[in-house]
Chain A
């Protein structure tokens, strides 16, 4: 009886499009968590990274709370979710990746994530592994992002670039070739660490010279300008900067400053809104 019904059920599933491939995916980084949640069916997500539900790092903290997370960073922790596919970044520990691969799990390593185009390529690559539903979701996201980006570009067409830096309490600032640089390029901002400081990547700021830069705003992670600026008001050399003293800051949620997925479109919009409020008045 059941043998006779099986082909019928399979046909029905195919027709209604309800049969997602039996992929079980474990994601090991926040960036891949964001990609996975965007395109996978809930049943395809086996586990997310341990930072997935931390709003300081993750743009999908709320959605991630509904899924299991890998608490420890070793291969056994990943394998216990019986994944068929594991997502890593090129900076994931090579021993970890190798152990998971040797256990017979397909491994996908993302090694380009500096721009939105990279993020979209990663989204499509992942979706191709997860089936046609995922591919359709990925295309919808790419199209939506492209439209949002075009609208933002139009809105900022005549905006005068705001001169900014993104300080951190770790003793480094973001120069060229960073996620922050990409945010500045899309949100009509000039990253002075790159243009005046000539810094590449995250690097130590040039102490005294930093105080001579014509900074319009400092870009910080946080909820309110006051709270975000508080540590810098006691931290040299930032405490001596007019922008910090006068409270000239733009704040965006923490995860946006390090976002490597397609969600960075939200970060472009948020930073543009914070730096050019007059253009978003309506």
Chain B
């Protein structure tokens, strides 16, 4: 019954995304008037065009890609582990990305190039991804995979803590490290957009997996009996989820709760069918992050990760309490 709500929900999320995107382009510290904004969009005014096309637009696009990536990744993790409390950071990919970025900053490499820190973040996230996929290829059970994720998170957290305790002394360096640990979108450039762009093909690869994910949610044996190559499906899901998380972490740091909150809200709205949830989570995730970024900017530059946690934390607690009942 709820599945009938999927199309209106998708349309609503899409309209909300467009509205928030327009607002995101219109609002900023440069306080452009509506006519200046239009001149900027049409490149008739150099200053306004710089603000709109070089500062606000990349930020908006990165927010959109990060939101879509984290939300879809969370949905996949929840389907993979058949546990509603699973999140993109569960297997240590976000921690790997953050550790890579923090090591680059701690070693003073941040000033070398615009892409140094994001590339280190990608390297850290991919190293964690590689470790997870290697375990999965060896046929590790979900329980072992989870335990490996706990160990990876602890290990990479220790690397981050070490750098924090030994290399953070200037205000600016602390701010840079905080950016990666809490997550943020300020001063994102077109390079960050291109870096996060592979989220789109990854999302496209995920779209046809909705139906097999539905079958997987019945249980591995049932899915197998219905013709699903469970092992192959799990590997693909794991690879896509970790790649989405790695890309998001590389350009925006560790943004929590998106992958947990958005899929749950969508399940409440349209039910548990993944063929509907996958496209919805992509659009709604993007809407959620663009909205949180706007909220953060309106509240005196609250970092993205703080806003998502402020919304996601209480929701998570509510979810736990509801599950207890």
Residues of A within 8 A of B (CB): 29, 51, 72-77, 79-80, 82, 89-96, 98-99, 102-104, 172, 201-204
Q: Which B residue's beta carbon lies closest to that of A172?
A: B169
- Interface contact A91-B172, CB-CB below 8 Å: yes
18 contacts across the A-B interface (CB closer than 8 A)? A72-B300, A73-B186, A74-B186, A76-B51, A76-B55, A79-B51, A80-B30, A80-B31, A91-B110, A91-B173, A93-B172, A94-B110, A95-B114, A95-B187, A95-B189, A102-B50, A104-B50, A204-B166
- Interface contact B189-A90, CB-CB below 8 Å: no
With A76-B30, A99-B54, A99-B55 in contact, is A92–B169 under 8 Å at CB? no
B175 at the interface (CB under 8 A from A): yes
With a CB–CB cut-off of 8 A, which chain A residues contact B187?
74-75, 93, 95-96, 98-99
With a CB–CB cut-off of 8 A, which chain B residues contact A99?
54-55, 187, 189
Q: Which A residue's beta carbon lies closest to that of B116?
A: A94
With a CB–CB cut-off of 8 A, which chain B residues contact A91?
110-111, 170, 172-173
Q: Which B residue's beta carbon lies closest to that of A109?
A: B111
B313 at the interface (CB under 8 A from A): no
Task: Tell me if A's interface is mostly helix, strand, loop or mixed.
Answer: loop
- Interface contact B50-A79, CB-CB below 8 Å: yes
- Interface contact B29-A202, CB-CB below 8 Å: no
CB < 8 Å neighbour of B29 from A29, A80, A82:
A80
Please list the 3 inter-chain residue pairs (A to B) with the smallest Cβ-Cβ separation, ordered nearest first.
A95-B187, A74-B186, A80-B30
Q: Shortest CB–CB separation between residue B57 and chain A, in angstroms?
A: 12
Q: Which B residue's beta carbon lies closest to that of A51?
A: B171
Instruction: Mark each residue of chain B from 151 to 186: 1 if its CB lies under 8 Å from any CB of chain A, else 0.
Output: 000000000000001100111110110010000001
- Interface contact A103-B172, CB-CB below 8 Å: no
A206→B192 CA distance, assembly (Å): 42
With a CB–CB cut-off of 8 A, which chain A residues contact B169?
172, 201-202
B194 at the interface (CB under 8 A from A): no
With a CB–CB cut-off of 8 A, which chain B residues contact A29?
172
A143→B275 CA distance, assembly (Å): 75
With A76-B51, A80-B31, A94-B117 known, 6 other A-B pairs at CB within 8 A are A72-B300, A72-B301, A74-B186, A94-B113, A94-B114, A204-B165
A82→B47 CA distance, assembly (Å): 9
With a CB–CB cut-off of 8 A, which chain A residues contact B188?
95
Residues of B within 8 A of A (CB): 28-31, 46-47, 50-51, 54-56, 110-114, 116-117, 165-166, 169-173, 175-176, 179, 186-189, 192, 300-301
Q: Shortest CB–CB separation between residue A84 and chain B, in angstroms?
A: 12
How many residue pairs bridge A and B at CB < 8 Å? 83
Q: Shortest CB–CB separation between residue B22 and chain A, in angstroms?
A: 17
Q: Which B residue's beta carbon lies closest to that of A77?
A: B29
Q: Which A residue's beta carbon lies closest to that of B176?
A: A93
CB < 8 Å neighbour of A76 from B29, B46, B166, B179:
B29
Q: Shortest CB–CB separation between residue B294 and chain A, in angstroms?
A: 14
Q: Shortest CB–CB separation between residue B101 and chain A, in angstroms?
A: 12
CB < 8 Å neighbour of B172 from A76, A89, A203:
A89
With A76-B28, A80-B31, A94-B113 in contact, is A103–B54 under 8 Å at CB? yes
- Interface contact A75-B175, CB-CB below 8 Å: no
A144→B300 CA distance, assembly (Å): 42
With a CB–CB cut-off of 8 A, which chain A residues contact B114?
94-95, 98
- Interface contact A73-B50, CB-CB below 8 Å: no
- Interface contact B30-A79, CB-CB below 8 Å: yes
A92→B110 CA distance, assembly (Å): 9
With a CB–CB cut-off of 8 A, which chain B residues contact A79?
30, 47, 50-51, 55
Most buried by A among B31, B169, B170: B169
With a CB–CB cut-off of 8 A, which chain A residues contact B28?
76
Q: Which A residue's beta carbon lies closest to that of B31?
A: A80
Q: Shortest CB–CB separation between residue B140 and chain A, in angstroms?
A: 38
A77→B320 CA distance, assembly (Å): 41
With A74-B186, A79-B51 in contact, is A93–B110 under 8 Å at CB? yes
A147→B46 CA distance, assembly (Å): 48
With a CB–CB cut-off of 8 A, which chain A residues contact B117?
94
Q: Shortest CB–CB separation between residue B162 and chain A, in angstroms?
A: 12
With a CB–CB cut-off of 8 A, which chain A residues contact B46?
104
With a CB–CB cut-off of 8 A, which chain B residues contact A89?
172
- Interface contact B172-A74, CB-CB below 8 Å: no
CB < 8 Å neighbour of B55 from A75, A82, A92, A94:
A75
With A74-B29, A93-B175, A202-B169 in contact, is A102–B54 under 8 Å at CB? yes
With a CB–CB cut-off of 8 A, which chain B residues contact A90?
111
A51→B116 CA distance, assembly (Å): 28
- Interface contact B50-A92, CB-CB below 8 Å: no
Q: Shortest CB–CB separation between residue B264 and chain A, in angstroms?
A: 32
Q: Shortest CB–CB separation between residue B24 and chain A, in angstroms?
A: 12
With a CB–CB cut-off of 8 A, which chain A residues contact B113?
94
Q: Which A residue's beta carbon lies closest to that of B171?
A: A51
Most buried by A among B46, B111, B175, B176: B111
Q: Shortest CB–CB separation between residue A179 and chain B, in angstroms?
A: 11
